[in-house]
Amino acid sequence: MSRVSGLDVALGAATVAVAVVSAAAFSGWSPRSSGETPSAAPTVAARTATPPAPTASVTSAPTAKAVAPMPRLAADRPATLAVLGDESSNGTNEWVNLVGEQLGEQRRTRVQRIRQTDESVYNAPIRYGDDDPDLTVWNASLAGASPEVTGDRLRRFLPEAPEVVLLSHGRRADGAAVAAQLTRTREALATAYPQAKVVVVLQPPLAAEESSRAPLKAVRDWAVQQGLPTIDVAAAFAKAPASPRLQEPGTDSPLTAEGQALWAATVHRALTAPAPVPSPTATPPPTAATWSATASATAQPSR
């Protein structure tokens, strides 16, 4: 054999080897992975596909409960009303006493106001009216009071089981804490006086004090989430004409006599007005099938 022929043979063998190695490389084989099952290479579509976006976590908003009906103080039977409030309702010339005076037009009413210097004692009652049946108003409103009243303190505030409890807080409350405080008060009421109906008084904001709006909104939102009936004094103030003036900004008792009267009238009307009569269900218009059935039923036989 000549050298040229041998060289040709060697070159041919080398070419075959290179082709084998190249084919193995394209098929995913490498000396490092010898003996292992090669993994399938991703397709072009898989390499260029956009990865799915992560699923966003959704935080559901608090579900509002169905609103309980507004309790009414029927004039034909004895009743007990309680007020847990702040400095907007603790004075003898303020709306709680005015409500008692209005209730006294139909029944014998006594307003018991808690002593401002000793919350375990009530002052002598203020009496209105002469006719039966009796109505007692326990006014446990204190200047600077927290909306939270629980445990033994609650029983001192309300020594008699109330039929209706008005929660009147918000204008000077802590907006970040008022909802939790009211929740604890309501839980304490449910334990001590489970038959009591709780109503939330929605106070008007303080005149010229924007800071009072946030806690008042927190109280309104809490009432909605709890499904409690509300007496919207804020709406009554907002709808009232500009004159006479309802509030005097910058004073210890910012409500004027007209403001106190409007507040009292709004509460009195909510607690004594007859319950709204539900509207009758509208009869749906008859369909073609209804007309056909009616016509068949009323058709007279031919003679």
**In angstroms, what CA-CA distances link 15 with 2, 11, 32?**
20, 6, 23
pLDDT at 209: 80
Angle formed at CA 117 by CA 114 and CA 123, multiple of 5 degrees: 35
CATH fold of 79-271 reads Rossmann fold (3.40.50)
Find out whether the peptide bond into 31 is cis, omega within 30 degrees of 0: no
Q: Which two tokens stand for residue 229?
A: 């009936």
On the question of pLDDT at 208 being above 90, the answer is no
Are 162 and 196 in contact, with CB atoms under 8 Å apart? yes
**In angstroms, what CA-CA distances link 276 with 124, 189, 219, 281?**
37, 27, 25, 15
pLDDT at 202: 98
Q: Computed over its alpha carbons, how large is the radius of gyration of the chain?
A: 39
The pLDDT tens digits for 197-206 are 999 999 999 8
The pLDDT tens digits for 163-193 are 999 999 998 899 999 999 999 999 999 999 9
Percentage, residues of the chain above pLDDT 90: 58
The pLDDT tens digits for 93-138 are 999 999 999 999 999 999 999 999 988 899 999 999 998 999 999 9
Q: What pTM value is reported for the model?
A: 0.71
